[in-house]
């Protein structure tokens, strides 16, 4: 049987941002959406014929402490039925509409929580680990566990992180037995142990044993890379939404929970401190785009204005 690492290929989808400096709104051009869709379809066709896998490659990555490599983002200057309307923004005479889906993985937290956090990330990215420890942990304690925020993780493995795709496969194979979030935590908490290794197959299979998964069931899923198409869907959709690196977050807040003045002031404060934060809206929601490993305080700047 092939290990999951066999399935790593190069795959490129191009997306782009359009930002309004006056109101900090963002959108994605029609050319990106349509062009990305064509590339996705062609890429799937070619890869399905020659590799039986789905390959991924990296987008631009922004890093917080001024480092800006080709991926990982830090603050720098088939979807399920829960689909979140993201943005409607006028461009001349055209109106671009974009939806951000929550994907197929189970949420962390109460699915009825009013605020939705959609996180595009991966398990080998050091800044994703930074977000996990410096923001996700505190968000879980103060907002997720209290029923205020639900978190959806979407896979965005970067090709220059060779173990990111196998890690995503391992996490989704754990989901088959209802232990996605247990594997999610294990992968981040052990990242420093396996990130520099040549092969991680045995490591990930060992983590599966540690969290009590059935050995045969997990190994079959992992060796055959059964979730590969779902991971590819997440990656392609993320690029379609304008995601260019990891981690990238969308906070979706109902309009009846926060005023327009409050959300605009919060985003302005974040952009003064970090830069790069986008604000969009639709009929019912405000959507804040956070492209990087911002600290917990950045999320708190927004969420403290929400009426829970």
- Domains of the chain (ranges; CATH) run 4-303 (3.40.30.10)
Question: For 118-164, what is each residue's pLDDT tens digit?
Answer: 999 999 999 999 999 999 999 999 999 999 999 999 999 999 999 99
How confident is residue 241, by pLDDT bands cut at 50, 70 and 90? confident
Report the C-alpha gap between 300 and 157 in whole angstroms.
27
Of 242 and 106, which is predicted with more confidence? 106
Locus of tokens 């209290």 = 146
Measured CA to CA, the distance from residue 279 to residue 288 in angstroms comes to 5
* pTM of the predicted protein model: 0.74
Which of helix, strand or coil describes residue 110?
coil
Q: H helices of 112-200, where?
A: 126-131, 137-139, 164-175, 180-189, 191-194
Question: Using 50, 70 and 90 to split pLDDT, how confident is the model at 283?
Answer: confident
**pLDDT, greater one: 86 or 184:** 184
Hey, what are 135's tokens? 């923001």
Residue 51 confidence (pLDDT) above 70: no
pLDDT attached to residue 84: 35
Mean pLDDT score, 28-38:
35
Q: How far apart are CA 273 and CA 295, in angstroms?
A: 11
């Amino acid at each position: 049987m092939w290990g999951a690492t066999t399935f790593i290929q190069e795959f490129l989808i191009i997306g782009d941002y359009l930002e309004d400096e006056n109101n900090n709104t963002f959108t994605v051009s029609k050319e990106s959406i349509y062009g990305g869709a064509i590339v996705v379809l062609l890429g799937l066709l070619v890869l399905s014929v020659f590799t039986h896998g789905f390959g991924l490659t990296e987008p631009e990555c922004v890093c917080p402490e001024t480092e800006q490599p080709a991926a990982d983002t830090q603050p720098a200057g088939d979807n399920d039925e829960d689909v979140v309307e993201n943005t409607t923004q006028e461009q001349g005479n055209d109106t671009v509409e974009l939806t951000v889906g929550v994907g197929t993985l189970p949420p962390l937290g109460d699915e009825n929580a009013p605020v939705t956090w959609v996180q595009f990330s991966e398990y080998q990215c050091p800044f994703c680990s930074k977000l996990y420890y410096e923001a996700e942990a505190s968000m879980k304690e103060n907002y997720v566990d209290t029923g205020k925020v639900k978190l959806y993780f979407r896979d965005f493995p970067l090709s220059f992180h060779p173990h990111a795709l196998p890690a995503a496969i391992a996490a989704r194979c754990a989901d088959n037995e209802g232990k996605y979030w247990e594997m999610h935590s294990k992968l981040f908490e052990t990242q420093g142990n396996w990130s520099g290794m040549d092969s991680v197959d045995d490591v990930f299979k060992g983590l599966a044993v540690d969290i009590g998964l059935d050995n045969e069931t997990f190994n079959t899923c992992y060796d055959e890379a059964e979730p590969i198409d779902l991971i590819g869907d997440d990656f392609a959709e993320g690029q379609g939404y304008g995601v260019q690196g990891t981690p990238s977050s969308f906070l979706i807040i109902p309009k009846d929970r926060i005023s327009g003045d409050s959300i605009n002031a919060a985003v302005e404060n974040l952009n003064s401190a970090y830069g790069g934060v986008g604000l969009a809206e639709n009929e019912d929601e405000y959507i804040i785009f956070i492209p990087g490993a911002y600290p917990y305080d950045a999320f708190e700047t927004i969420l403290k204005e929400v009426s829970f």
